[in-house]
Structure 1
Amino acid sequence: MNGKKRCEKGTFSPDGMRAEILNPFVHKLELDNAYDKIRTAIFTVILLPFRVIVICYLIVTAWFLACVGLYGLSEDDLRKKPMTGWRRSLKPLICFIGKMSYLAGGMAISIRGRQASRREAPILVVAPHSSFLDSCIVYATKMSSVIVRKESMDNYVGKLINYTQPVYVWRDDPNSRQNTIKEIIERATSKEDWPQVLIFPEGTCTNRSCLITFKPGGFYPGVPVQPVTIRYPNAKDTVTWTWEGPGALKLLWLTLTQVHSSCEIEFLPVYYPNEEEKRNPKLFARNVRDVMAKALGVPVLDYTYDDCRLIAKAKQLGIPGGAAIREVAELRSQLKLDVANYEVDLIETGLQGTPRWLTLEQFALRMDVLITVPCSRLYKIFVQPSINLMYFPDYLLATLFILYQHEPLSLLIAYGFKIFDGSGTGRLDITSFEELAARTLNLGPEDAHNLFRGADVEKKEYITYDEFVAYATKKPELSFVFTRDGSQKVKIQ
């Protein structure tokens, strides 16, 4: 080994202070004590029905007004020119009804600062994006034009969204990104009196612990933008909707059974880009993010929507530590383990004789690193609480998933055969295979058992990787194992 590896890389907030390793895609919410449970149960019976009835009445009223305002207009009409006259006059009324629907649900919306005019800032940049309840910003900004997927318009609230004259994203259009940017530029630089364009540049929901990477799409026009922040300063966070955490219905239920909740919207001063920022949208986006992070008092992390997709795929496949997979990658980087992919060398040279259950000291020694904060955090992700030890194969599989995320899943399974092969013979018995299948294919014991029996043609009570491949390639439901982008849960008959 080349001596001990030290952590030098970190994540920094705008003021240069080192930030913690955070996972912005996880939110934990539980009713902690008997008082909370009893109160929620009581309010579910006596408060929730009343609130739901009032909210539905208000939403239907707003929807009806939107239908009236859109009468006689096609989607092409909405994209060609801004609404005028009586149609535009309905917007303040719809916004008022929208705000009242939030108030009926117990959420008071307070606004700080002044919304700039379209002439001052054609684009509003909103962050952090953490909840479906962030839609209140549309009402608070006088129905600014949102950016929305076209396929999501085919629902009940489609009329309300259409009334903002949105910028459409067509998922099945290969040129969708370029066309969306083009339309944003046209809207932002038009001399006509369009609504301001409202963007959530993070592109996905986080838990508000930080600001992740801003997508540059809304910054291509190179025009002044107004940053807008959203806060939910409540004792219990019942609004955060992330990749790992409560679902939308549970959050809505818990929010509507709170006596009172708050949302604070703050309009920050308009940000005027310099010449360099106009030429470089990514720099423009990064600098605006720094301003907003400073106002919010949170760090910035270079996490992206692609990280969310990676986390979702890891969870779908049952990869150990799936929800924290981005954090694993960051901590490995801090420990310099990503420089030479140290774990792959360990597996290739053979793991026979290596304990599967490790203490922190054993893990640090095995990985040839010092016991630092990043080392301890990485260790804790894979610790089994019942025995307070790390299961080393779990760590290795998570690492390999990160390293080979763009390769076919079969490569990860091939390494898995080496990880779980305690004999060094290149074969797995049914117990070891079930462990591997649970952690790479998300299979339960019964499905893994059936898969093993199917591959064990000669009934030897063990299979090799080649035997697994020979069987799996004949099963249509396992075709995703051999493609670069496939991931799904399978049931083996």
Structure 2
Amino acid sequence: MRLVVVAAGFHRVRMRGKQHIPSDPREAPVVVMAPHSSFFDAIAIVCLGAPSVVAKADTARLPFIGQLINYTQPVYVWRDDPNSRQNTIKEIIERATSKEDWPQVLIFPEGTCTNRSCLITFKPGGFYPGVPVQPVTIRYPNARDTVTWTWEGPGALKLLWLTLTQVHSSCEIEFLPVYYPSEEEKRDPKLYARNVRDVMAKALGIPVLDYTYDDCRLIARAKQLGIPNAAAAREINEIRGQLGLERSQLELHLAAQGVQTRSRWVSGEEFAQRLGVPMDQRSQRLFDIFVQRSSGLVHFPDYLLSACFLSLQHAPLSQLLSLAFKLYDTNRTGRLNIKTFEEVATRCLGLTPEEAQGTFRAVDLDEKGYITYDEFTSYAQKKSDFSFIFTSDGSHKPKTQ
């Protein structure tokens, strides 16, 4: 493993602080490392003496490296398994409190890669045992950043190539003093996780941000589909929850009714009035996220589409698409012309305008100048490119071509 690190160009891995190697298995059995920003963070596994790692199950399938990680007796997380989270916590607790001579458990509590500009929410799994942990920070003080592997940006192979083209790359690992939890922190793993994160953020000199892996996945999905103001999806959802809109599902009801042409653009007061919420700082912030600066108004269908996406984020996309057809059908005829279909397809299906227009023409073989939701879904069911629309939707089963 050390040869792999050197071959990757990391000739200098600087170690700071003192690594706590417990003589008693129950003394600091968990190592908490952050920020997690790259697959190159595996360097820490080498430098810490190959502790057991908590990693997603896909890691085991990596050529060569996956087999090396298997030798550390890892705890694998199966993200597609609804019971995986509880099983992972149970395994960490068993190892952390066991009298057996288990290796220390290394966790990256952020649960996903970030760009190292902040520390996002720590998952509490590694803090449930209530045992002392050793926080460890990792930095890459290089002139050029060729390691950051996040939701948006270069892929793994490109980053590996860019790193290999450097004369050398540096990595810095710092061991912070062992953190001993208070009785309150032992009872509250989330509090324990927050306090450890604060200590590590202070050592790194960066802020904390209450984003989670699920938030990142939600935003990435929204961007992929073209949902309006996708980057603010988490904040929008949070404000909706504060205003009670998430619970009332009023937005789904409004979307199902459709929005007529004359009422598509609304002012701040009308925006709050339609949603049945007070015009306060929360609703004003929601309005400001969607406001068009040139007119000072909000395109109400765009807001409702975003709200419906958040309300239906665990439902098949076909449900959202059905509502989108009603939202952008200005005449409430159940028909979309090429312009309005382009609005739907670019905001809800992640198509480019050119792709949307081409799809419209493929559906409208009779050249009527409009298509309906049923006509589009009938066409989409036969195309593998659109199979993602009907995932887990029992009412629409994709057909083979």
TM-score in terms of structure 2 length:
0.78
Match of 1:113 among 17, 21, 29: 17
Shift of 1:363: 6.1
Tell me, what secondary structure is at the counterpart of 1:111? Answer: strand
| Paired position in structure 2 for 1:367 | 271
Shift of 1:169: 3.8
**C-alpha separation between the residues in 2 aligned to 1:322 and 1:303?**
15
- For residues 332-411 of structure 1, the aligned pairs below 5 Å read 348=257, 350-354=259-263, 364=268, 367-368=271-272, 374=285, 378-379=289-290, 394-411=302-319
Are residues 1:192 and 2:100 paired? yes
| Residue identity matched to 1:350 | V
Shift of 1:137: 1.2
Shift of 1:396: 4.3
CA contact (8 A) 1:363 1:379 kept: no
Tell me, what secondary structure is at the counterpart of 1:435? Answer: helix
| Paired position in structure 2 for 1:308 | 216
Shift of 1:129: 0.7
| Residue identity matched to 1:290 | D
**C-alpha separation between the residues in 2 aligned to 1:150 and 1:473?**
32
Q: CA 1:441/1:291 → structure 2, altered by over 3 Å: closer, same or farther?
A: same
Quick one: percent identity of the two aligned structures? 62
Give me the CA root mean square deviation.
4.1
| Paired position in structure 1 for 2:347 | 439
Shift of 1:149: 4.0
**C-alpha separation between the residues in 1 aligned to 2:167 and 2:362?**
57
**C-alpha separation between the residues in 1 aligned to 2:381 and 2:270?**
36
| Paired position in structure 2 for 1:274 | 182
| Residue identity matched to 1:416 | A
**C-alpha separation between the residues in 2 aligned to 1:228 and 1:243?**
24
Are residues 1:140 and 2:47 paired? yes
CA contact (8 A) 1:409 1:484 kept: no
**C-alpha separation between the residues in 2 aligned to 1:331 and 1:181?**
31
**C-alpha separation between the residues in 1 aligned to 2:379 and 2:6?**
60
TM-score in terms of structure 1 length:
0.65
Higher relative contact order (CA 8 A, sep 6+): 1
Are residues 1:160 and 2:160 paired? no
Are residues 1:123 and 2:34 paired? no
| Paired position in structure 2 for 1:203 | 111
Question: Aligned residues, how many?
Answer: 386
CA contact (8 A) 1:106 1:256 kept: no
Match of 2:136 among 228, 235, 238: 228
CA contact (8 A) 1:209 1:299 kept: yes
| Paired position in structure 1 for 2:276 | none
- For residues 24-103 of structure 1, the aligned pairs below 5 Å read 62=1, 94=2, 97=3, 100-101=6-7
| Paired position in structure 2 for 1:59 | none
| Paired position in structure 2 for 1:24 | none
| Residue identity matched to 1:274 | S
Q: Where do 5+ consecutive residues of structure 1 fail to align?
A: 1-61, 63-93, 357-361
C-alpha deviations, 1:269-296, integer Å up to 9, x for none? 2112233333333332233223223333
**C-alpha separation between the residues in 1 aligned to 2:17 and 2:334?**
66
Tell me, what secondary structure is at the counterpart of 1:350? Answer: coil
**C-alpha separation between the residues in 2 aligned to 1:290 and 1:330?**
23
Q: CA 1:405/1:121 → structure 2, altered by over 3 Å: closer, same or farther?
A: same
Shift of 1:117: 1.6
**C-alpha separation between the residues in 2 aligned to 1:241 and 1:334?**
33
Shift of 1:217: 1.9
CA contact (8 A) 2:264 2:301 kept: no
| Residue identity matched to 1:352 | T
**C-alpha separation between the residues in 1 aligned to 2:383 and 2:151?**
31
| Residue identity matched to 2:289 | L
Tell me, what secondary structure is at the counterpart of 1:227? Answer: strand
**C-alpha separation between the residues in 2 aligned to 1:256 and 1:324?**
36
| Paired position in structure 2 for 1:289 | 197
C-alpha deviations, 1:142-190, integer Å up to 9, x for none? 2211123445323222332133232234567664333333332232223
Shift of 1:198: 0.3
Q: CA 1:351/1:289 → structure 2, altered by over 3 Å: closer, same or farther?
A: farther
